[in-house]
Amino acid sequence: MRIKTTDLTRKFHVGSSEIVAVNMVNLEVNEPKFIAIVGPSGSGKSTLLNLIGLNDNPTYGKVFVDDIDTSLLSGSKRRRIRLFRMGFVFQTFNLLPTLNALENVELPMALARRLQKEQREKAVELLKTVSLDNRFYHRPKELSIGEMQRVAIARALANDPEIIIADEPTGELDSKTAKEIIDLLFDINRKQKTAIIVATHDQRIVEVADILYSIRDGKLRLEH
Amino acid sequence: MRTITICLRNLFRRQARTFLCILGIVLATMSIVTIGATTFRYITIIKEMHTYFSGKVVVVSKGAIVIEAFPIGIGSLPENMTEKIEARAGVKNAVPMLFIYNLEGALEAVPTNFTIGIPPGDWSVLVGPTPLRLGGHWPSAESSKNEVVVGSSLSDQYNLTVNGRIKLNGYDLKVAGVLDTSSALLSRSTVMSLELVQDVYGYNRLINLIVVEPIEGVNTEELADTIESEIKNVNALTEEERTDLAQPLISNIETWTLGIRTVLFILSMIFVTTVAMMNISERRRDFATLDAIGAPKIFVFKMVLTETGIMGLFGGIIGTLLGSVVAILVASLFTGIPISLFFPGIFDITPPLLVFEILVSTVAVSCIAGVIPAIAAARMNITEVLRAEY
């Protein structure tokens, strides 16, 4: 999956003032690399990820997926790209509270209309991959925050995405759990050849990233 | 994993709110069933009255209020008027009757017992082919001085069997037969000779109804007009006129029922919409997450609609069941007829079609009530919700 942005800009209106959250960002993801975007709170990290993840529309500029201008795609086609080709990991995990770990992982597969048996087998396999083989039937409130983030990562992997977009995946975790999550994401990147874009403050992620960008006042800069 | 499972769990997550919402639907549905069943019952009785004296002219006093064929309230006629009418051209025969509503033993809102006096030998003019229960007979001219026939419901309620005794206004009478019928009117009637009714109730040589059978080929309308013009202070009603008299009453009942039903449905709709909007507002993050991971809008839409539909289904089922029970209690309370007597004919009180129609309407109304919240959930701006997270 190739993602390319050209002069990507996103403005918000707060009261009478205008905030430029993302300002003329040009970014290209060609290979399954581990990409980190660092920047202080409010610098535009999450907004940029929402734009790349096709959850938001730019005020100006374009996002291309495999050279297709996504602004020309219908809502349902953009949704299909999110469902089948992208995985999302959120800072606050965003698991559905009424579903247990297995069902949360099965959800994207159910939305993709995969066979029920196949969903269950894949969900079990993914939860084992994230070392949660004894927590299948626990609901989010019965899991620790580290376990919740593992379930979220397993859910992101459910439909074999080509890219995982993670917004502050370690933001809520203690340092030991954060390290485990970073290792897990790194493993996924290396073993499954899945590109990973992470917005983070976490120095340890910065250290393992193949490509590092910094963002400040919406402007993206390549660090290495 | 089925959508319905997710919806049930979502509803169960907010137990108190879901319970209150279902309770609201239950109360609305229960009221609709109770009112619907009660009015349906009275409309059925009125419509059943229409089946009597088909093709005949009914003569009543001018001041009498008539429901289909039967006069209620004041308005009697001298018995000898029957002969005057019978002497008219075009009249095959005229049968005098005395029709009395008995309010004793029941709340006065609804009369539940009827006494009908008719000359012996003319029984079939009233009861048609209705049979008597085994062992019964119609009183003859001689035995009719102290014999009566009672309806099945009265027989069951007061344990009146053939050859048993019945006391009416101090008269000790013998039960000659029991009408084997489910007719609301006949099953609650005591049928006896005209003379006996006049004695028992003090109607000296008075009647309140004459059933006139025209000679074949005679126009009933013309015959009725002739009777009215030649005999003062009477109304001669053809079958059509009798229907016309009852129709406004039936229409009024039906309109009021429909009005009440509509108001209750609108109230439950507002209730369900409010609860669904509250649920959605609380689950903004869940909907944003679903959207972010690529859930089709229709999935979210269906999920909200299913949730409101489930509440409607539960509320509807419980409401219709309770409503059916309450309808029977109301029928029993207002008629003085024991509840046990209603159970064999429970489907006459709460007809399955009516109950099914109300249940389907309740679910449909709940689904409709879910449309606005479902659209709100499906069209939620996920960027704002996700941004608000951080």
Please report, for the domain that includes residue A109, its CATH number: 3.40.50.300
Whole-number Å distance between alpha carbons of B273 and B375:
12
What per-residue string of b and e applies to A24-35 under the rule 16 or more CB within 10 Å gives b?
Answer: ebebebeebebb
Average pLDDT over residues A14-30: 89
Residue bearing the bigger pLDDT, B388 or B69: B69
A91·B389 Cβ contact <8 A: yes
Out of A64-68, B60-64, B224-228, B346-350, least confident range: B346-350
Is pLDDT of B43 > 90?
A: no
Question: What pLDDT does residue B107 have?
Answer: 38
The winner for highest mean pLDDT among A137-141, B240-244, B378-382 is A137-141
Is pLDDT of A58 > 80?
A: yes
Out of B117-121, B147-151, B333-337, least confident range: B333-337
Positive or negative torsion for Cα B142, B145, B147, B153: positive
Q: What are phi and psi of B135, to 5 degrees?
A: 95, -10
Name every chain A residue with its beta carbon within 8 A of the beta carbon of B13. Answer: 97-98
Question: What pLDDT does residue B388 have?
Answer: 52
- Residue A168: pLDDT band (50, 70, 90) is confident
Question: What pLDDT does residue B384 have?
Answer: 73
Bridge-based pairing of strands A195-200 and A34-38 is parallel
Site of tokens 């809102």: B109
A88·B292 Cβ contact <8 A: yes
pLDDT, tens digit, 9 for 90 and up, residues B369-385? 999 999 999 888 877 77
Is pLDDT of B109 > 70?
A: no
Q: Round the CA-based radius of gyration of chain B to a whole number and report it.
A: 29
B294·A106 Cβ contact <8 A: no
Is pLDDT of B366 > 60?
A: yes
A90·B289 Cβ contact <8 A: yes
- Residue B1: pLDDT band (50, 70, 90) is low
CA terminus-to-terminus distance, chain A: 22
Out of A79-93, B32-46, B83-97, least confident range: B32-46
Is pLDDT of B108 > 60?
A: no
Is pLDDT of B194 > 90?
A: yes
Min Cα distance B322 → chain A (Å) is 31
**pTM > 0.80: yes or no:** no
Question: What pLDDT does residue B74 have?
Answer: 67
Bridge-based pairing of strands A34-38 and A211-216 is parallel
- Residue B106: pLDDT band (50, 70, 90) is very low
Q: What is the 3-state secondary structure (H, E, C) of chain A?
A: CCEEEEEEEEEEEECCEEEEEEEEEEEEECCCCEEEEECCCCCCHHHHHHHHCCCCCCCEEEEEECCEEHHHCCHHHHHHHHHHHEEEECCCCCCCCCCCHHHHHHHHHHHCCCCHHHHHHHHHHHHHHCCCCCCCCCCHHHCCHHHHHHHHHHHHHCCCCCEEEEECCCCCCCHHHHHHHHHHHHHHHHHHCCEEEEEECCHHHHHHCCEEEEEECCEEEECC
Residue bearing the bigger pLDDT, B102 or A124: A124
pLDDT, tens digit, 9 for 90 and up, residues A96-115? 999 999 999 999 999 999 99
Query: Considering only residues 38 to 67 of chain A, which have any Cβ-Cβ distance to chain B shorter than 8 Å?
Result: 41, 46-47, 50, 53, 55-56
Using beta carbons and an 8 Å cutoff, which residues of B are at the interface with A? 1, 6, 9-10, 12-13, 285-286, 288-297, 299, 382-383, 386-387, 389-390
Name every chain A residue with its beta carbon within 8 A of the beta carbon of B294. Answer: 79-84, 86, 108, 111
Of A55, A84, A106, the CB nearest to B292: A55
pLDDT exceeding 70 applies to what percent of chain B? 93
Whole-number Å distance between alpha carbons of A124 and A115:
14
Q: Are B98 and B207 in contact (CB under 8 A)?
A: yes
Nearest residue on chain A to B292, alpha-carbon basis: A55
Q: What are phi and psi of A7, to 5 degrees?
A: 45, 40
Question: What pLDDT does residue B97 have?
Answer: 93
Whole-number Å distance between alpha carbons of B98 and B53:
15
Whole-number Å distance between alpha carbons of A147 and A166:
16
The angle, 0 to 180 degrees and rounded to 10, between the axes of the packed helices B15-49 and B239-282 is 170
Residue of A111, A85, A116 lying closest to A2 (CA atoms): A85
pLDDT exceeding 90 applies to what percent of chain B? 41
Kind plus residue range of the DSSP H or E element containing B387: helix B382-389
Whole-number Å distance between alpha carbons of B43 and B37:
10
Question: What pLDDT does residue B112 have?
Answer: 63
Residue of B381, B291, B390 lying closest to A91 (CA atoms): B390
Site of tokens 């698991």: A95
User: For residue B205, what are the contacts with CB-CB under 8 A and spacing of at least 6?
Assistant: B78, B79, B80, B198
Min Cα distance B16 → chain A (Å) is 16
- The domain in which residue A150 lies consists of 3-222
Whole-number Å distance between alpha carbons of A32 and A2:
9
Min Cα distance A31 → chain B (Å) is 22
- Residue B387: pLDDT band (50, 70, 90) is low
Give the count of domains, chain A: 1
Min Cα distance B301 → chain A (Å) is 14
